[in-house]
Structure 1
Amino acid sequence: MFGARGNLRSRWPSSKRRPIKTRRWENSTISLRLPFIGQYKWYSCFPTTAKKSITYQPTMTAKLLLATILCLMGASALAADPILEGNYNVTAVCTAVKTGTQLGSIESCQDYYVCSSSGPVKNSCQAGYSYAYTKSGCYPSSQVDCYWGLSEPCSGKNGTWVPNTAVCGGYFYCDEGKSSAPKRCGSGQVFDASSKSCVWGSCNDNLVETEGTTLNTICDVVPPGIWFGDTQACDIWYTCQSTTTGIKQTSGTCPIKTPEFNPQTQICGYPSATVCSRVTGIPISDAGVSCATNGDTKPDVTVCGQYLQCVNKQWTKVACAFGYYWDVESSGCKLREAATPVDTCNRCQFAKQSFVNAVDSDNCRNYLFCPSSGQPTALTCPEEHFFNEDIQGCAPDSGLDTYVATHGACYGATVAGSSTDSDDSSTPEKVA
């Protein structure tokens, strides 16, 4: 059904192909990669007849809530009661990643989860070690930047900023090992722990507001460099990429000929009976189907002209009028040209030209080529130029201020690029 093995190479979920690493799977053996002082050990959940296996019997210790999500991974049903940490639905994320993937915890720097075929299995690093989710291993705590569950996140730090994990977009300024009064990034910004700065983006774009520990982005727990699926559409895939300004989430869509993304093989493939069983209609980043307050709204992270509204305590998709985008600054629908959409959505929607601005609050240099089908291509103007969608080309920076005033995609952009809005030393610099 899937054709020759050699053809699998062409179904990577992006144009950047890489050699396929294969592992021989025997019967129903599933390998779990568990961290141990920076190294990996492989265990088998089910013994095989071909070789002696070490049987790993997982124990689940997790917070069980009344919300019920029935998601399938392969042919196995996951636990009916999801494991939740604040607004982080561990169970839902596990349905969309490859079996054996390790996810970070937002309740403790020592804890992590291994996604098995039956759901997430909670594990802990030994005393004195913390879990580094970007490396999928346990390392000495002094070598790991982790702030989850710490009573004093500024301990041992001075003259820097650290996240306030109880508030989306929140942070503290560290002074001689002590935290300042809680602060929060400005409108349209979230705090990025890796760059220690406020970055462009809308708080809780794809996560439910909750009391207690708050996950800002799915890339705070999913390791970079892997592809994972979506629980709303089978053809959508995501990946977390390390950049100079932190770890960013990107997404793409499988081609028409191979329309189903398979987290187990990490590629797009032909339709099958089980690959799309993870699709439940529940957003992968949402803590659950419920919302707190009727009437609340938030952007759709992939569709610029759509948003989510809390109706009868359930998040419901609502479309803006044709030619309108959801504007994160006003929390309402605006004409496409004037709107500032969430930076993860595709601005090729409703576009009449081949080239459009990407959402860029830094210097308005980034833009997209919109093909007639498939995913857009990201491009950048040269130094001292910004992209002008009206003239379909790069223009001198001397006209940027005038352009920004009427084009929401470049809201906040300046010739100098990112700048601090305040002279207060306890306010981190905003970066793109």
Structure 2
Amino acid sequence: MLEKQFVVSWLILTLTSSISAEYNVDGVCALVSNGVRIGSIDSCQRYYVCNNGKATANDCPPGTSFSKDEQNCLTETSVQCFISQGNPCARRNEGFVPKSGTCNGWIYCKNGKEAGSGQCAGKLIFNNGECTFGSCPSADSNGLFDANFKSICQIMMNDKYFGSSSDCGKWQVCKNDKLVTGFCQTGLAYDVATESCNYENENTCSQVTDITVQPDPENYGPCTTEGEVKPSRICSDHLKCENSLWKKYSCNTNYYYDITTKSCQPRNTAKTYDCNRCQFSRKQFVNAVDTECRKYIVCNNGAKKSSNSCAIGFYFDEVAEACIKGNGKDSKASNGACFVPSNDTPPQQPGDGGNETPPQQPGDGGNETPPQQPGDGGNETPPQQPGNGGNETPPQQPGEGANTGE
């Protein structure tokens, strides 16, 4: 009986250790289009098929390993894989391979055998066969990244565009196992389903969860003016030029970076560029950045689903979560979203205007569909418009009722 309990406990421990060594596969699947296969950092034979942001695990047959670029199982000798091997040099005749369980250790292979080992000096890490500047992966929501997981390009196929869990307008792509990032043009969002920058609809931005699912450090590009500060696409963040590189700083929870005071201010009063103001809000509808206060955003647990606008002659009131008849002067005084500097330009993002070719832009082909509006055939119900009828009672306006005293 004790022997049986020991075996069961050993199996549970083994399975738990195996699962915990893997990365957040569902989180990564949310960044890619349906049908994409991603690799494992725990097994050369295992891979995951992504559909609707969920991963299904599969294993290659004996004698084969998963090739992320071929998206298929190939013979072991034709796939570069150095995970969970008794002899890490078994598939490498000569050269450097990573040392399992470390982020800066390396092994030198010669004639299929280990000829030496060591670790990168100082603050260098071992990545893609060489020592480079970087730091060991930090913690995510599910615990520490495994030391073997140093870049999302280890498990993502090359030349396949995918999204970001932190920014709706950001796209990523692996080129020769090196991560390249960029941003869609102003007014566009990265659409995971089409793998391109597109007009916003009810399905775009579904990849934004604000959960860190990859160990790659954020890259905001080079800068020239030391100490310069500018806002980012994230409402709560701003960038500062330090040592010729943009470095991100974040405000505390419920605070946004105010572009007029250049400081962190309470969310509802902070004046921002057109960023996702669903951040830190539990409401379903919030104000979008708009001088007329007519535009609003449809939110889901702090993530942006889509956007819409009140009819002419109405403004959106975030407190009531409804369109109110009037010009929105009261809302402008209390909500920072109803402010846009007239002679200022939204910040250019690293990658805008660079040499990397982003996914197809709407308008380049002539057949794109304009942004889908909530209620245009979908199931999303926008705030009730006064005068539209139905069973929803619109906000009472002075002079429209019998009990106003007029």
What is the TM-score when the length of structure 2 is the normalising length? 0.49
Higher relative contact order (CA 8 A, sep 6+): 1
The structure that has the greater radius of gyration is: 2
